[in-house]
């Protein structure tokens, strides 16, 4: 964990945070304008999704130049201003490094296409099979085959994501050198951290072969031992000269063992890692494009296994409920709007008092919800449209398919930030690139005024992390596993213990506390009249943290 354990990260989806020049797209000056707001919340790092030049096929995750700013967001001077003004407020900027693939519009890919052998070796080009079919049976994570024709010849290039995102060949040392150069470029600009997009799939085997289980190919390229070597090398080459650079890896379909290996301090790979298993508990049979209520027992089991596993193994998790790829957690886990505030607070406490680094996704701190879009025309995301068409092709009616998209689309999280109740929610003076949500009901101006609101609750959670070493350094142990709808854990450090009880349901439930806890002190509660009693009745969506 090193010395970043008391830090909190806030994620900004730059297209949707704040538009400063009235074109309907959020930008860097918009972020600069809102730095005092973020400072008031108390965050330490700001992760910004990709702001590099990009054809925007996958909203910036298709990068065509790693060392420049896309003009839709501003220019390098704006970026330098952002870094400097953020530093004045003790906020470090984190960049999103998409190193598994480049856009096909990137100069490297274009040179490769033009026949330059050096750059052809930057990508994963393979001959088609004798029958003209793709080199392997792997599936793209955005649907369809993971291979597409490379120019007009007999080769295909690998794209684990969109066809416009060509996978890089990390086995070529020149590629790693280029990527290290990118990291050094941004460090020289004063950047304090990096998020590494889908980092655990960058290490493919030399020989790319069919998935024998006729699966999607995932096992053939996920968490290969070589990824750990790559990360150690980059750490050694780039980060040893800099103090306290926060690195977080996005891990696709990983395991507890690997998450530990990527983040255990003495291995010198990453500071922390995101995993996603806890956000797949409303997938029917592992399939995202389904609509079912979430499985509470599964959620509890995953949080506990990962919590205990990483605690015992000295790994360090990055905890989050929301990001730019997920529908809002509040819509998934707290379905009755009556419990909007209590539920949001309980969810926040579950991760902010956990062992690991908490992440807040923009708007979460005021309880933003999924938008109530009425038609596919409102959705922009390439993945949503691909999925909708696939659902229709599988025989779903338009209505069924739409209901699924509505519950799972990544655009749910990507709608404009809700600053106030004025036009376009105060995000812009122009129709935003993606339609607004319910800014009349939920907005920053309103929530910040409410002492019992969400903003103040998040502020309190962040302050507690700064004050209480047990939150930062305590181990993690699951407790009260037999109490229905409750996820509870203790954190223990030196002679202090913190008990955190979170109720994921509406029906009153209860548990019995030991005498030792009765002398404890309530650190945090979302019901103002909470008391410590031997027989503790837990109310709907209650969260209670007791230190003893």
Residue 34 interacts, among Ca ion, ligand NOJ, none and using kind-specific CB cut-offs from 5 to 8 Å, with none
**Cβ of residue 417: shortest distance to Ca ion, in angstroms?**
13
Reported as type and span, the H/E element at residue 101 is strand 101-103
Cβ atoms 350, 403 nearer than 8 A:
no
Provide, rounded to whole angstroms, the least separation between the CB of residue 308 and ligand NOJ: 27
Nearer to ligand NOJ, 61 or 262 (CB): 61
Q: Which residues bind ligand NOJ (CB under 6 A)?
A: 58, 61, 98, 161, 197-198, 250, 324-325
To the nearest whole angstrom, how small is the minimum distance from the Cβ of residue 221 to ligand NOJ? Answer: 14
Q: Starting from the edge strand earliest in sequence, which strands make up the sheet with 318-319, in order?
A: 272-274, 246-250, 193-196, 92-97, 45-48, 9-12, 357-361, 318-319
Segment contacting Ca ion (CB under 5 A): 15-23, 155-163, 236-244, 351-359? 15-23
27 touches Ca ion (CB under 5 A)? yes
User: Quick one: what does residue 197 bind among ligand NOJ, Ca ion, none, with the CB cut-off 5 to 8 Å set by partner type?
Assistant: ligand NOJ
Say how many CA atoms lie within 13 Å of 507 toward its Cβ.
5
For the CB of residue 214, give the shortest distance to ligand NOJ in the complex, in Å: 24
Partner from Ca ion, ligand NOJ, none contacting 361, C-beta within 5 to 8 A by type? none
DSSP conformational letter for 542: -
Residue 21 as a binder of Ca ion (CB under 5 A): the answer is yes
Least Å from the CB of residue 329 to Ca ion: 28
Active-site option among 96, 250, 381, 411: 250
Catalytic residue among 197, 365, 381, 468: 197
* 9/346 with CB nearer ligand NOJ: 9
Q: With respect to ligand NOJ, which residue has the nearer C-beta, 82 or 201?
A: 201
**What residue 161 binds from Ca ion, ligand NOJ, none (CB within 5 to 8 A, per partner kind)?**
ligand NOJ
Active site residue 197: yes
Q: Is 19 in the site for Ca ion (CB under 5 A)?
A: yes
Contacts of 238 (CB under 8 A, 6+ apart): 180, 183, 184, 187
2 neighbors 265 (Cβ within 8 angstroms) = yes
Ramachandran region, residue 145 (left: φ > 0; alpha: ψ -120 to 50; beta: rest): beta
Helix (H) or strand (E) holding 513: none
**DSSP annotation string for 50-68:** --SS---TTTTSS-S-TTS
User: Which one of ligand NOJ, Ca ion, none interacts with residue 23, CB within 5 to 8 A by kind?
Assistant: Ca ion
Question: At 389, is the secondary structure helix, strand, or coil?
Answer: helix
> For this structure, is 219 an active site residue?
no
Closest residue by Cα to residue 27 from 69, 61, 89, 86:
69
**Any idea which residues carry the catalytic annotation?**
197, 250
Q: Would you tell me which residues interact with Ca ion (CB under 5 A)?
A: 19, 21, 23, 25, 27
């Amino acid at each position: 964990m090193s010395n970043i354990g008391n830090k909190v990260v806030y994620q900004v989806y730059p297209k949707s945070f704040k538009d400063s020049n009235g074109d309907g797209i959020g930008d860097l000056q918009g972020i600069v304008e809102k730095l005092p707001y973020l400072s008031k919340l108390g965050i330490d790092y700001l992760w910004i999704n990709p702001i590099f030049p990009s054809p925007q096929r996958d909203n910036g995750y298709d990068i065509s130049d790693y060392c420049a700013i896309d003009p839709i967001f501003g220019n390098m001077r704006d970026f330098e201003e952002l870094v400097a003004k953020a530093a004045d407020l003790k906020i470090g900027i984190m960049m999103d490094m998409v190193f598994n693939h480049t856009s096909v519009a990137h100069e490297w890919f274009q040179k490769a296409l033009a026949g330059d052998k050096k750059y052809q070796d930057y990508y994963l080009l393979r001959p088609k099979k004798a029958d003209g079919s793709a080199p392997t049976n792997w599936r793209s994570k955005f649907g369809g085959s993971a291979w597409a024709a490379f120019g007009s010849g007999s080769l295909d290039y690998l794209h684990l994501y969109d066809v416009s995102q060509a996978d890089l060949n990390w086995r070529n040392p020149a590629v790693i050198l280029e990527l290290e150069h990118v990291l050094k470029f941004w460090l020289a600009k004063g950047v304090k951290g990096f998020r590494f997009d889908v980092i655990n799939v960058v290490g493919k085997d030399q020989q790319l072969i069919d998935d024998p289980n006729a699966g999607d190919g995932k096992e053939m390229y996920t968490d290969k031992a070589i990824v750990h070597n790559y990360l150690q090398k980059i750490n050694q080459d780039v980060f040893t000269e800099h103090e306290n650079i926060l690195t977080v890896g996005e891990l696709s379909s990983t395991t507890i063992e690997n998450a530990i290996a990527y983040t255990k301090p003495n291995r010198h790979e990453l500071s922390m890692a995101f995993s996603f298993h806890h956000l797949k508990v409303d997938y029917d049979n592992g399939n995202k494009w389904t609509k079912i209520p979430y499985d509470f027992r599964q959620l509890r089991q995953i949080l506990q296994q990962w919590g205990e596993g990483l605690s015992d193994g000295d790994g360090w998790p990055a905890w989050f409920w929301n990001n730019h790829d997920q529908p809002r957690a509040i819509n998934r886990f707290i379905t009755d709007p009556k419990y909007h505030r209590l539920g949001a607070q309980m969810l926040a406490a579950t991760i902010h008092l956990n062992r690991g680094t908490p992440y807040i996704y923009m708007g979460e701190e005021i309880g933003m919800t999924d938008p109530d879009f009425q038609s596919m025309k409102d959705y922009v995301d390439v993945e949503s449209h691909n999925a909708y068409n696939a659902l229709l092709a599988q025989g779903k009616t338009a209505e069924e398919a739409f209901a699924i998209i509505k519950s799972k689309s990544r655009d749910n999280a990507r709608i404009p930030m809700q600053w106030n109740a004025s036009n376009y929610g105060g995000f812009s003076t122009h129709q935003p690139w993606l339609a607004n949500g319910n800014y009349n009901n939920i907005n920053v101006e309103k929530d910040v005024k409410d002492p019992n609101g969400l903003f103040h609750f998040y502020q309190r959670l962040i302050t507690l992390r700064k004050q209480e070493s047990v939150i930062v350094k305590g181990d993690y142990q699951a407790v009260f596993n037999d109490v229905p709808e409750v996820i509870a854990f203790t954190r223990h450090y030196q002679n202090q213990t913190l008990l955190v009880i979170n109720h994921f349901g509406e029906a009153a439930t209860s548990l019995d506390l030991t005498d030792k806890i009765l002398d404890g002190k309530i650190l945090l509660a979302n019901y103002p009249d909470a008391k410590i009693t031997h027989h503790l009745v837990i109310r709907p969506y209650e969260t209670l943290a007791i230190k003893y």
